[in-house]
Amino acid sequence: MRGIADVVEFSEAEYESQFTTRLNNYQGLWKVTPVEYKRGKPKKDDRDTVQLCAQVICLEEMMKVKIEFGELYYAQTKHRQRIEIDEKLRIRVYSLAEKMHEMFREGITPPAEVGKHCSICSMVDLCQPRLTKKYRSVANYIRSAFLESEETE
């Protein structure tokens, strides 16, 4: 897996264990905690915890360490939530990653779920939700964009 974390915190540990790692240019042993920053507030679904767990898995692979917890910070509520990265969550992330790779292999772009949430989504430029909504084909999108531009001329 590959990912970009907003913030990764290192806290000093007293004893060496599977939960500690060493850092270049710093003495001592360190525990690793990713902190994912969100502009909004906690969601009803598990998308934020899934993203956080994916970051944990990347960091574990990269730093050869085990991570028990991650944190989600919500700007709207100015609150941090501690999330346990348990086996159930890890299995969910692996299964979603497998589905994603399958879609990628088959060249399928899933339709965007366009909504208010898109305006605060950091992926909006990459996602282009108007392009993929309602299983609209690229050809149809280009056709309607062309018609729109003709109408405004």
Is residue 47 part of the contact set for ligand SF4 (CB under 6 A)? Answer: no
Cβ proximity of 20 and 63 under 8 Å: no
Q: What is the 3-state secondary structure (H, E, C) of 58-121?
A: HHHHHHCCCCCEEEEEECCCCEEEEEECCHHHHHHHHHHHHHHHHHHHCCCCCCCCCCHHHHHC
* C-beta of 19 vs 129, nearer to ligand SF4: 129
119, amino acid identity: S
Q: Cα(96)–Cα(114) distance, rounded to whole angstroms?
A: 20
Q: Which of 22, 39, 79, 117 binds ligand SF4 (CB under 6 A)?
A: 117
Q: Which of 12, 16, 102, 113 binds ligand SF4 (CB under 6 A)?
A: 113
112 binds ligand SF4 (CB under 6 A): yes
Q: Does 121 bind ligand SF4 (CB under 6 A)?
A: yes
Question: Count of residues for the chain?
Answer: 153
Q: In the set 35, 73, 129, 136, which binds ligand SF4 (CB under 6 A)?
A: 129
What gap in Å lies between CA 102 and CA 108, rounded to an integer? Answer: 9
* Candidate segments 5-13, 33-41, 80-88, 113-121, binder of ligand SF4 by CB under 6 A: 113-121
Please give the distance of CA 133 from its chain centroid, rounded to a whole number: 21
Q: Which of 96, 97, 124, 131 binds ligand SF4 (CB under 6 A)?
A: 124
Q: How far apart are CA 38 and CA 22, in angstroms?
A: 29
Tell me which of 23, 114, 142, 145 binds ligand SF4, using CB under 6 A. 114
Choices 21-29, 31-39, 55-63, 112-120; region in contact with ligand SF4 by CB under 6 A: 112-120
Residues near ligand SF4 (CB under 6 A) are 112-114, 117-118, 121, 123-124, 127, 129
